Amino acid sequence: MESQLINEPTELELLRQARSGDFAAFQQLIDNLQPRVYGLAMRILRQPQDAEDVTQLTFVALIEHLGEFRGDSSIATWVLKIASNNALKVLRKQRGSKVVSFSEMSTADNYSDVPRPEFIAPWSRPADEIAQQAEVQHEIEVALSALDDKYRLVFILRDIEGLSVRETAEIMELSESTVKVRLLRARLALRERLTWKFGDALQAMTPNPNHS
């Protein structure tokens, strides 16, 4: 078993083989990435047909641009950036001129009036245990969908997909400081909503007025 693991080709070996025309190596390279890209596109666009289009576009682009990967991030990060850009293009097209651009600055993009936590209580169980409940996945996706696009998108890219603040800023065409403010607002909004659901009301507390 151990020798099998040792003999597994590395990501860069697979990439080298794929670049020389080995389709099986390419398939192995993207095997785990396909559901991840589809999930990212679903989270951003919320429509299966749109998510399929984005997934297909992303991997077709990967074939066309295999030679351009510079290796300054993991292949997963590179692919997720391509997928995010594709999904945002679709979202921008859908939104048209009816809403502000994701990159448009607003008064909400500073720390001056960040909403303060209202319901403060430790969660009754750890997140990994809560995640095992079938209905929870649906509930947390509903909470995410309720966020304004500009907060939802930074949370998806930074916190769910694990892109850096800089990468998120590049994709969203924002400054890093704006990403950080939007991320804070997204995190606080989701915390509030999920704590009402998973918090232990018996241990609820109020902010200490003498401390703030």
Residue type at 187 in one-letter notation: R
Which residue in the set 111, 173, 175, 201 belongs to the binding site for another protein (CB under 8 A)?
111
Secondary structure of residue 104 in the 3-state scheme: coil
Q: Does 116 bind another protein (CB under 8 A)?
A: yes
Three-class SS state of 75:
helix
Min CB(1)–another protein separation in Å = 26
Among residues 171, 173, 144, which one has the least CA distance to residue 156?
Answer: 144
| 59 versus 78: smaller Cβ distance to another protein | 59
Whether 87 contacts 44, CB under 8 Å: yes
Q: Among 204, 187, 186, which residue's Cα sits nearest to residue 196?
A: 204
Nearest to 138 by CA among 185, 94, 197: 197
* Residues numbered 119-148 forming contacts with another protein, rule: CB under 8 A: 120-123, 126-128, 130-131, 136-138, 140-141, 144
Q: Which two tokens stand for residue 32?
A: 């785990």
Query: Residue 11 or residue 139: which is nearer to another protein going by CB?
Result: 139
Q: How far apart are CA 32 and CA 51, in angstroms?
A: 16
Considering only residues 31 to 90 of the shown chain, the ones binding another protein according to CB under 8 A are 34-36, 38-39, 42-43, 48, 51-52, 55-56, 59-60, 63-64
For another protein, the closer CB: 99 or 159: 159
Residues 199 and 95: their CA atoms lie apart, in Å, by 35
The label of the residue with tokens 């190596």 reads 25
Residues that bind another protein (CB under 8 A): 20-23, 26, 34-36, 38-39, 42-43, 48, 51-52, 55-56, 59-60, 63-64, 111, 114, 116-117, 120-123, 126-128, 130-131, 136-138, 140-141, 144, 155, 159-160, 162, 165, 180, 183-184, 187-188, 190-191, 194-195, 198-199, 205-208, 211-212
